Amino acid sequence: MKNNPERLATLEDKSFLLLLTLVTLAFGWVLLPFYGALFWAAVLAIIFAPLHARLTQRLPQKRNLAAVISLTLIVLLVVLPLILVSAMLVQEASVVYARMQSGEISFTRYLQQMYEALPAWLSGLLNRFGLGTLGLLQERVTAGLTKGSQFFATQALSIGQDTFNLVMAFFIMLYILFFFLRDGHQLVRRVREAIPLQLDVKRSLATKFATVIRATVKGNIVVAMVQGALGGFIFWALDLQAPVLWGVLMAFLSLLPAVGAAVVWLPVALYLLLTGSVVQGGVLMAFGVLVIGLVDNVLRPILVGKDTKMPDYVVLLSTLGGISLFGLNGFVIGPVIAAMFMAAWDLLVSARQDTPPM
């Protein structure tokens, strides 16, 4: 019985595809412990690609030098400020945690003080709804703060134990970032050639991916950092406790649509107004509305533009889902996956509309 060449060719193709899939999965498994370092190296390379391109044009025969200069600028502009803020955050968080444990800081006491300072008509209204003693609310606040303090204590212990891994991942990120900057165009071209899709589809998805990365980092993270910095500044200017801690918290909350930094500064402003610190409360309220609140409306359109705007509910769900799956990296990974999902389906719809009916 003779062998069919077409059947043998098909079998060989399937075997090769199976081998390719297995070795790709195995290689991804090997790199999985360092996916965060690789991911942020790719993100920073995409963000600073225009700057590096200008350096490459001025130093066409010195690619290594151009990559070193770009890497140095990234360290000075991004890495060192983050390290400084992280050190200040850890210091303030430890002080606040110690004061909470000693009872010096008591959110339930602050809540009771706010209730006692309420006008008589509002207190009567709360009494009619069974909220006069605030017992249930205080119990829930105490339970939530206890769980939160335990969570942050656990995370701090975990970070302390994994310091070596964090330092190693940081230097791996810088090392990979150097090659992404120097050889980025060649790597992108080889990946694009290897993907079995039509040329226009690959080009569209690659453009969308780079655009979304830049929009997510510049439009979301930069705006959140500015809002957090402004919030921390006004807390410091008003001599409120732990300005760095609250500023970082406002920055994180600013990443979430329909939440924002007002979740932090608004209750503090109300507490100050109700407890007699009218000047501090009024200044914080005015600064929050006129400065912090307007940063998003002013900076985001400039940094993002109109083409990459996703619905707020998609950004919220993808951000929260990304955080639950990928941790801190999910702030970027979640929205990027959502944007690529929408781009792929848009391409499918466009292809079907261009296809003539049978």
What would the mean pLDDT of 329-334 be, rounded to a whole number?
Answer: 81
Question: 204 with 94, same domain?
Answer: no
Question: 190 with 51, same domain?
Answer: yes
What would the mean pLDDT of 319-338 be, rounded to a whole number?
Answer: 81
Question: 68 with 159, same domain?
Answer: yes
Question: 147 with 208, same domain?
Answer: no
* Position 357 confidence tier, pLDDT thresholds 50, 70, 90: very low
Residue 4 pLDDT > 80 = no
Q: Is residue 330 part of a domain?
A: yes
User: DSSP for 166-179?
Assistant: HHHHHHHHHHHHHH
Question: 335 with 254, same domain?
Answer: yes
pLDDT for the residue numbered 50: 85
Between residues 92 and 224, the one the model is more confident about: 224
- Check if the beta carbon of residue 331 is closer than 8 Å to that of residue 39: no
Q: Is residue 23 part of a domain?
A: no
Closest CA to 261 of 311, 296, 286: 296
pLDDT for the residue numbered 1: 46
Q: What is the pLDDT of residues 195-246, one digit of tens each?
A: 777 777 777 777 777 777 777 777 777 888 888 889 889 988 888 877 888 8
Among 141, 164, 194, where does a domain finish?
194
Structure token pair of residue 23:
């070795």
- How far apart, in whole angstroms, are the C-alpha atoms of residue 114 and residue 108? 10
Question: 190 with 213, same domain?
Answer: no
pLDDT for the residue numbered 146: 55
- Kindly report the pTM of this predicted structure: 0.69
Question: 187 with 206, same domain?
Answer: no
Q: Is residue 207 part of a domain?
A: yes
Q: Is residue 25 part of a domain?
A: no
Share of the chain above pLDDT 90, in %: 3
pLDDT for the residue numbered 123: 61
Question: 224 with 185, same domain?
Answer: no
Q: Is residue 169 part of a domain?
A: yes
Question: 237 with 174, same domain?
Answer: no
pLDDT for the residue numbered 49: 85
pLDDT for the residue numbered 108: 62
Q: Is residue 346 part of a domain?
A: yes
Q: Is residue 6 part of a domain?
A: no
Question: 152 with 91, same domain?
Answer: yes
Q: What is the pLDDT of residues 256-315, one digit of tens each?
A: 766 678 888 888 888 788 777 788 888 988 898 888 888 877 776 666 555 556 777 777
Look up tokens 């942020």; give the residue: 40
Question: 181 with 203, same domain?
Answer: no
- Check if the beta carbon of residue 257 is closer than 8 Å to that of residue 315: yes
- How far apart, in whole angstroms, are the C-alpha atoms of residue 293 and residue 269? 14
- Check if the beta carbon of residue 48 is closer than 8 Å to that of residue 74: yes
Burial 27-59 (b: 16+ CB within 10 A, else e): eeeeeeebebbbbbbbbbbbbbbeebeebbeee
Domain assignment of residue 144, given as a range: 34-194
Share of the chain above pLDDT 70, in %: 72
* Position 171 confidence tier, pLDDT thresholds 50, 70, 90: confident
* Position 72 confidence tier, pLDDT thresholds 50, 70, 90: very high
Among 146, 170, 194, where does a domain finish?
194
Question: 69 with 147, same domain?
Answer: yes
Q: Is residue 8 part of a domain?
A: no
Mean predicted lDDT score pLDDT of the chain = 76
> Helix crossing, 243-254 with 223-237: angle to 10°?
150
* Position 124 confidence tier, pLDDT thresholds 50, 70, 90: low
Between residues 72 and 34, the one the model is more confident about: 72
Total of domains in the chain: 2
pLDDT for the residue numbered 153: 52
Phi/psi for 348 (5° steps) reads -65, -45
Among 142, 163, 194, where does a domain finish?
194
- How far apart, in whole angstroms, are the C-alpha atoms of residue 91 and residue 105? 16
